[in-house]
Amino acid sequence: MNYDALLLVSFGGPESASDVLPFLRNVTRGRGVPEERLTEVAEHYYHFGGVSPINEWCRSFIDALRGEFATHRVNLPIYWGNRNWPPMLVEAVQQMAGDGVKRALAFTTSAYGSYSSCRQYLEDLSAARAAVGGSAPVIDKIRHFFDHPGFVQPFADKLRTAAAAIDDPANARILFTAHSIPVGMNDVSGPEGARYHDQVAETAALVRQAAGLDLPYDIVWQSKSGPADSVWLGPDINDHLKAIAAEGVSSVVVSPVGFLSDHMEVLWDLDIEAKQTAEELGLSYYRAGTPGLDPRTVTMVRELVAERVDGAPVKRLGKLPLWNPNDDGCCPARRPVGMGR
């Protein structure tokens, strides 16, 4: 297939204190997230001066990707649009239309399937295209990359480095963590359901294997939002820290496989909140890094583009079946948080 642009699609994040509340309102519009949760999350952002690292990461990643494309003679201009904070998707689609782009590939910064990590990005892309009208390019989303070596290997190296600092490996546990979602949303993720959970679990196993570690590990979930009585994927990382401390575990190494780079969820929910929980329990806490700007991750995007443009081989380490998220047959439009399916 011929494409004439790459669009990087991300979540967006505030870049100053006055951005925080308007950003949070964009994220949660129509989602049934309680007001107390918003005030609480706003404080997490204010703690860091109202600045999420996500937009700056996108800028640096695009710079690196432009270099990668130039070196490998990939002749595609790169555009950038976010779901929740400028630069917004609609501006990016407008710009592409003005530049005469007819067909674009979209790389989203989430590796996994599910309504929140995939379908919602597709819905926002179609809304942006509809707003731009007839001159908007066709946009195809690149496949889920949860098991691509350019995603798995940076996590593995960073996990190995973090684990090397543990002084009592006999009583250590690896915790792989990803953003929780409502259980009802997970149940309908992917063509056969539960694929969000299963992709995260496959990534976790691949990362541990690639790190060459035989420490025991668990998969845990973080950053639950929505009403307190709504059922989300668990165990929550903080609850699980209590459970394993009671079993006699004395050190944890936390690998945030749910995140391509250090978002606010990593800086606050892990490095402040979970770390404090661990310390209160007397557990030594080590946090492994995210891929971030690892050159292998930059190369991964070029390779994912080559799969679509040149029919290059599909590089992957896992066995879960892939599916085409551009079809309508997976991750149906959702009901409000907490409503189950």
Ligand X SMILES: CC1=C(CCC(=O)O)c2cc3nc(cc4[nH]c(cc5[nH]c(cc1n2)c(C)c5CCC(=O)O)c(CCC(=O)O)c4C)C(CCC(=O)O)=C3C
Question: Binding site residues for Fe(2+), as ranges?
Answer: 179, 265
Give the CA radius of gyration of the chain: 20
Contact between 3 and 103 under an 8 Å Cβ cutoff? The reply is yes
State the amino acid at position 223 in one-letter form.
S
Pick from 15, 52, 95, 188 the residue near ligand X by CB under 6 A: 52
Stretch that binds ligand X, among 31-39, 95-103, 275-283, 323-331 (CB under 6 A): 31-39
Helix (H, G, I), strand (E, B) or coil at 74: coil
Residue whose pair of structure tokens reads 């640096």 in the numeric block = 60
Contact between 102 and 1 under an 8 Å Cβ cutoff? The reply is no
Stretch that binds ligand X, among 29-37, 167-175, 286-294, 322-330 (CB under 6 A): 29-37
Helix (H), strand (E) at residue 166: none
* 54 vs 213 by CB, closer to ligand X: 54
Residue 116 in contact with ligand X, rule: CB under 6 A? yes
* 34 vs 191 by CB, closer to ligand X: 34
Q: Give CA 330 to chain center in angstroms.
A: 19
Contact between 77 and 6 under an 8 Å Cβ cutoff? The reply is yes
> At CA 51, angle to CA 48 and CA 54, rounded to 5?
120
Pick from 226, 291, 318, 325 the residue near ligand X by CB under 6 A: 226
* 3-state DSSP of 190-220: CCCCCHHHHHHHHHHHHHHHHHCCCCCEEEE
Stretch that binds ligand X, among 92-100, 166-174, 256-264, 301-309 (CB under 6 A): 256-264
Give residue number: closest CB to ligand X: 225
One symbol per residue from 162 to 181: x for binding ligand X (CB under 6 A), - otherwise; what is it?
-----------------x-x
Pick from 6, 7, 8, 13 the residue near ligand X by CB under 6 A: 13
Query: What is the nearest approach in angstroms of ligand X to the Cβ of residue 282?
Result: 29
Stretch that binds ligand X, among 108-116, 124-132, 147-155, 159-167 (CB under 6 A): 108-116
Query: What is the nearest approach in angstroms of ligand X to the Cβ of residue 40?
Result: 8
Pick from 94, 95, 117, 290 the residue near ligand X by CB under 6 A: 117
Residue 299 in contact with ligand X, rule: CB under 6 A? no
Residue 24 in contact with ligand X, rule: CB under 6 A? yes
Pick from 20, 28, 125, 220 the residue near ligand X by CB under 6 A: 28
Tokens of 28: 């949660």
- The values of phi and psi at residue 168, to 5°, are -130, 65
Pick from 41, 76, 207, 298 the residue near ligand X by CB under 6 A: 41
Query: What is the nearest approach in angstroms of ligand X to the Cβ of residue 245?
Result: 26
Ordered DSSP codes for 305-335: HHHHHT---------SPP--TTSSSSSPPPP
Tokens of 314: 């599909």
* Residues 6+ positions from 181 with CB-CB distance below 8 Å: 114, 115, 116, 117, 189, 196, 232, 233
Residue 268 in contact with ligand X, rule: CB under 6 A? no
Residue whose pair of structure tokens reads 């519009």 in the numeric block = 29
Contact between 338 and 182 under an 8 Å Cβ cutoff? The reply is yes
Residue 337 in contact with ligand X, rule: CB under 6 A? yes
| Site for ligand X, rule CB under 6 A | 11, 13, 24, 27-28, 31, 33, 37, 41, 52, 54, 109-110, 114, 116-117, 179, 181, 223, 225-226, 258, 263-265, 337
